[in-house]
């Protein structure tokens, strides 16, 4: 589980914090997942917004809490937990509220969460190509150098491989001036394969593990919502997934969370119009046969 050791943490103040604190960003998919989880459990938590657009996630202070410089991060009674799926497991085990990770279906649940986590960079690719122009996301060399140097660089006391992967992602982004068409096609292909699998599971039941909502639904809902915003025609390609998404959208505790900030929606609408006119929408690039009307 992603509980950090004291050696990993440079911002020592948080070690004295009591209660539940979440570092998060409104438009971050992983933050949305954790917020929904906390909402559905009825847990009171203190909000610490980290503005990714202003790069607050790479400040010395925040990198002293999460050495990866990513949101979300949870602080509970002085313990720091990173990685959204580990945060869900921690909350499920240690905090009160209705159970959302059934132990009798643990291996299935963990398998869905593992696939979701593996697709995280694919989700990023689609977000950073179709939700806003690449300029919005780009970090120049000196920003990357600052990121490399900041924070402990360790997780559980050992050099953090995940930070190296982050750096590699951003170096590729800089080199290619954004996300390439080939990356998009690969990411769409991987999503399509997983959503086909999800579609067949949902043909016989309302939710991923059966009749009630679990962490698997929350995690996958956020991804499905996001790729649809990016222009992936969810309902056209995966009818059952579309039906399930609509059901979850009507559920208390979920509705508000995936919404993008208004300013981001305006940028996204203009960017999508341009992409559509230039024939470089997600469907054009990934050669998908259909387009979908996007709901926000």
Ligand X SMILES: N[C@@H](CCC(=O)N[C@@H](CS)C(=O)NCC(=O)O)C(=O)O
Interface positions with ligand X (CB under 6 A): 28-30, 52, 57, 70-71, 83-85, 117, 120
Where on the phi/psi map is residue 178: left (φ > 0), alpha (ψ -120 to 50), or beta?
Answer: left
- Which of 163, 169, 159 lies closest to 123, judged by CA? 169
Q: Quote the least distance from Cβ 278 to ligand X, whole Å.
A: 25
Beta strands in the chain (DSSP E): 20-24, 46-49, 73-76, 79-82, 154-155, 158-159
Nearer to ligand X, 62 or 244 (CB): 62
Q: What are phi and psi of 19, to 5 degrees?
A: 85, -170
Helix (H, G, I), strand (E, B) or coil at 291: coil
Nearer to ligand X, 173 or 232 (CB): 173
Q: Quote the least distance from Cβ 70 to ligand X, whole Å.
A: 4
Q: Quote the least distance from Cβ 235 to ligand X, whole Å.
A: 24
Nearer to ligand X, 30 or 288 (CB): 30
Nearer to ligand X, 125 or 240 (CB): 125
| DSSP state for residue 4 in the 8-state scheme | P
- Beta carbons within 10 angstroms of residue 97's beta carbon: 14
Nearer to ligand X, 84 or 152 (CB): 84
Q: Quote the least distance from Cβ 243 to ligand X, whole Å.
A: 26
Q: Quote the least distance from Cβ 203 to ligand X, whole Å.
A: 28
């Amino acid at each position: 589980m992603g509980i950090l050791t004291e050696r990993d943490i440079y911002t020592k103040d948080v070690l004295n914090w009591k209660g539940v604190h979440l570092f998060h960003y409104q438009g971050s998919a992983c933050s949305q997942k954790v917020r929904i989880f906390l909402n559905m459990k009825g847990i009171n938590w203190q909000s610490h917004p980290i503005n990714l657009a202003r790069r607050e996630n790479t400040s010395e202070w925040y990198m002293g809490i999460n050495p990866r410089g990513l949101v979300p991060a949870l602080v509970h009674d002085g313990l720091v937990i990173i990685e959204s799926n580990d945060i869900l497991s921690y909350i499920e085990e240690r905090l009160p509220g209705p159970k959302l990770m059934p132990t009798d279906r643990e291996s299935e649940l963990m398998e869905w969460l593992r696939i979701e986590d593996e697709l995280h960079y694919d989700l990023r690719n689609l977000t950073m190509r179709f939700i806003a122009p690449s300029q919005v996301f780009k970090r120049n060399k000196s920003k990357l150098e600052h990121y490399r140097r900041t924070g402990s660089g360790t997780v559980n006391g050992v050099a953090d491989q995940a930070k190296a992967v982050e750096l590699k992602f951003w170096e590729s982004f800089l080199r290619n001036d954004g996300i390439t068409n080939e990356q998009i096609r690969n990411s769409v292909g991987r999503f399509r394969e997983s959503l086909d699998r999800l579609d067949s599971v949902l043909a016989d039941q309302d939710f991923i593990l059966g009749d009630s909502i679990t962490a698997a639904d929350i995690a996958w809902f956020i991804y499905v919502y996001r790729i649809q915003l990016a222009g992936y025609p969810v309902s056209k390609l995966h009818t059952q997934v579309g039906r399930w998404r609509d059901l979850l959208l009507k559920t208390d505790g979920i509705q508000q969370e995936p919404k993008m900030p208004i300013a981001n929606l305006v940028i996204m609408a203009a960017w999508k119009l341009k992409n559509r006119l230039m024939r470089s929408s997600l469907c054009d690039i990934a050669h998908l046969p259909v387009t979908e009307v996007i709901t926000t």
